[in-house]
Amino acid sequence: MHVKVMKAGVGPLSALWLVLCASVAQADAAPPLEAFGALPVFGQASLSPDGKHLAVIRPINGETTVYIHEVANLKAVPHAVAVPGAVAEGVLWPNNDRLICIFRKNQKEVYSRDVYEWSRAVSVDVDGGSPVVLLGNQPTLKLNTNGAAIVDTPPEDPNHVYMLAIESWRPSLFRVDVATGAGELVMRSPEGTTTLLMDGHGNPFGRIEQDAGLKNHIFIGNHEAGMFDSKGGSGLEFEGVAESAGTPIAVKSTSVNGVTGLYTWGLPQGVGTILFADPKFDIDDVITDERTRRIIGVTYADDRMRSHYFDPAIQHLQEELEAALPGQSVSIVSKDAAGAIYLVEADGPRNPPSLLLFTPATNELKTIVFAYPDLRPADLGVMKPYAYKARDGLDIPAYLTLPPGREPHNLPTIVLPHGGPEARDMLRFDWLTQFLASRGYAVLQPNFRGSAGYGRSFTTAGDGEWARKVQFDVQDGVKKLIDDKIADPKRICIVGWSYGGYMALAGATFSPDLYACAASFAGLSDLNRAFYSGSKFESEALSVWERRVGGSRSDTGNLNAQSPAKHADQVKAPVLLMHSDKDVTVPIEQSKFEADALKSAGKPVQFITMDGDDHQLSYAKTRIQMLTELEKFLAANIGH
């Protein structure tokens, strides 16, 4: 990835960066498609340690860019930093004078024509000038697709960060000057090293080595301190250094009641005391201090995303913010070093994400920007829990969004299964869900077995059941909608993205009489060829997929039985396929396999390529293209 950093031009900001108190009158007409398909006005954001500057990822002309604002005058024209053709993905302040920006680009390899995802870390000063590529002096950087692996930011040395780069198939640790970009080698890891354990002060105190049998060996210093099996993704997950722990290491682990929590880990006992675990819901992620990188809390979801902090004072602040923003998921995304100013993000199903500044001294909470400024609550559908029982008695959590201004009776309906599969839906704003609701459709989002967040047994209940019980879970949700007279049984379409795209194709294939149409964006269709398009070597990632599909990659019969492309003759409904040509998560060949199979079987299929974009649809142009094609397809097949 060749990096040429540019200071991007910016226009007037008064329409976007506002302190808003009054509501805006709502027009009767549904918002235009572009109001949903445009990139959100803000992404990741971070305050400088002194609180004087705010870095935030924002779009310019449909592409993401890093903006640097003066906090004292947010309406002033900011400085902007961009890498042409690349997506701005992260921001980090190592000190008050330099900002590190992470850029990502999917591009084809010259000779093989395979697509790879490249990333680089670029440091700039507070006016976006003097750009340098971190590790730019190291020849090994050009061989590393991930050139932005920052693993430690010691607070006592704010002019340096510690980064990993792969040399001879193993990670090497570099100390990198953030002003010059130059990196100096600290250590080369032993062969087989997958993870370096850092102490938060620039010192590696341990490592994890993985052997050919996918056993992970934990070393503290040069002493082997433990071992666990990572095959199938069932082992521990080492998260880093916990600020409140009596040991330097914190791990995710499944407890005796089957729910994943955060625990200490140390010698000689291994998994030790509990830091946090909810009795019903798995933790989702850890919260790290942006200066020290120490773990200071966790997130988990019941119906909404929750944050829990180990420090009682910050937890109290979190609860006060939630009380001030009722019905929304609230996150503290950044603060200055003194704790004098906090950056807060909040969203709810009918409240698109907003970015706020909170000043504890004055107890003032100000909204500074909305992610979707052209959407108002009245434009959006009401979302509510809609749990039901599967035919074998398993409780299936789900959510139903109803179109605004319509009675919940005999509605055209979209079934929208999530990706993953180890992910989940919850009560949050989702631009695709709300776009569909704004067009008059009821939207069902089932958290079928195999979803994450509800305990290990619920997740693994989906293993090997992709074309059977997982499908039944979705079918039973549709049946409930019909029985409740909400859905018109003749106007139901299944739509999905990534694994959800697989679910859409599987629904049309294995439930051919249930759906009037199916639309898949970046969905899997041929599991056998999906396995063999990757590495032939054993890996932890491959073992996870083998667990999920319920067999090894050599079990062709099992893979074909769950592959929609192998059973295209069963499809009865029209199918829309959409895929980005630079998708590295699910290669575009998966949609081509399905299109070819449906055409050969004489089935109605439309295949649309999104040129130049990736799995996430990182550009506004292609998001709008996707929504445009989907809207036409749905209107033609189930109306609105």
Give whichever of 17-26, 493-502, 534-543, 609-618 has the largest mean pLDDT.
Answer: 493-502
DSSP structure string for 95-140 = SSSEEEEEEEEEEE-TTT--EEEEEEEEEEETTS-S-EETTTT-GG
Look at 205 and 477; give whichever has higher pLDDT: 477
Tell me if 246 is assigned to some domain. Answer: no
Tell me if 556 is assigned to some domain. Answer: yes
pLDDT at 24: 37
Tell me if 65 is assigned to some domain. Answer: no
Both tokens of 271, joined, read: 């998994």
Average pLDDT over every residue of 208-232 = 84
- Give CA–CA dist 535/229, Å, rounded: 21
pLDDT at 481: 97
**Region of residue 63 (phi > 0: left; psi between -120 and 50: alpha; otherwise: beta):** beta
In this structure, what are the phi and psi dihedrals at residue 315, rounded to the nearest 5 degrees?
Answer: -65, -40
Tell me if 605 is assigned to some domain. Answer: yes
Token match 């698109």: residue? 352
pLDDT at 26: 41
**CATH number of the domain enclosing 408:** 3.40.50.1820
Residue 366: how many other CB atoms lie within 10 Å: 15
Q: How confident is the model at residue 622 (pLDDT cuts 50, 70, 90)?
A: very high
Q: What is the pLDDT of residues 80-110, one digit of tens each?
A: 999 888 999 999 999 999 999 999 988 876 5
Q: What is the pLDDT of residues 385-417, one digit of tens each?
A: 999 999 999 999 999 999 998 999 999 999 999
Tell me if 511 is assigned to some domain. Answer: yes
For 517, half-sphere exposure in the C-beta direction (CA atoms, 13 angstrom radius) is 25
**Region of residue 214 (phi > 0: left; psi between -120 and 50: alpha; otherwise: beta):** left
Q: How confident is the model at residue 205 (pLDDT cuts 50, 70, 90)?
A: confident
Q: Would the pLDDT of 307 be above 80?
A: yes
CA-wise closest residue to 608 among 640, 585, 631: 631
Q: How confident is the model at residue 10 (pLDDT cuts 50, 70, 90)?
A: very low
Average pLDDT over every residue of 35-41 = 95
587-593 CB contacts, 8 Å cutoff, 24+ apart: 587/115, 587/533, 589/529, 589/533, 590/522, 590/523, 590/524, 590/525, 590/526, 590/529, 590/530, 591/520, 591/522, 591/523, 591/525, 593/525, 593/526, 593/529, 593/565
Q: Could you tell me the residue range of the domain that residue 402 belongs to?
A: 381-637
Tell me if 30 is assigned to some domain. Answer: no
- Give CA–CA dist 210/169, Å, rounded: 13
pLDDT at 337: 93
Tell me if 520 is assigned to some domain. Answer: yes
Q: What is the pLDDT of residues 247-259, one digit of tens each?
A: 567 787 776 678 8
CA distance from start to end of the chain: 45
Q: What is the pLDDT of residues 517-569, one digit of tens each?
A: 999 999 999 988 877 654 445 677 788 888 888 877 778 888 899 999 999 99
Alpha-helical segments (H) within 399-455: 431-438
The residues pairing with 57 across neighbouring beta strands, listed in sequence order, are: 66
Q: What is the pLDDT of residues 565-616, one digit of tens each?
A: 999 999 999 999 999 998 888 999 999 999 999 999 999 999 999 998 889 8
pLDDT at 488: 96
Tell me if 575 is assigned to some domain. Answer: yes
Q: What domain count does the chain have? A: 1
- Give CA–CA dist 390/143, Å, rounded: 49
Residues 6+ apart with CB under 8 A from 188: 167, 170, 172, 173
Token match 């009245």: residue? 378
> Is the alpha carbon torsion for 474, 475, 476, 477 positive or negative?
positive
pLDDT at 538: 63
Q: Would the pLDDT of 25 be above 50?
A: no
